[in-house]
Amino acid sequence: MFESDGGLLADGTYLDYTPGHGTHSEANLPIGSVVNDGGYLERGSESFANIANIISHGEPLETS
């Protein structure tokens, strides 16, 4: 389990929050689109970064 509420990485990189969920039919549209606020697979979101880090390193990222 991991957070999707956005935040900063230790290097200062800002990650957007993820209001959508991957189970919604429109969840992977770009963040800020008119139809949907974006989903887990949006680059720049905390969810995308966490998924990528879990695949690469076996655990979610730490954000503040």
Per-residue pLDDT of the chain (64 residues; tens, 9 = 90+): 677 778 898 899 998 887 655 444 445 555 555 554 556 677 888 888 888 999 999 998 888 8
Residue 62 region by backbone torsions, left for phi larger than 0, else alpha for psi between -120 and 50, else beta: beta
Domain boundaries, the chain: 38-63
Strand ranges for 1-64 from DSSP E: 7-8, 14-15
pTM: 0.66
Distance CA 37, CA 31 (A): 5
pLDDT for the residue 23: 45
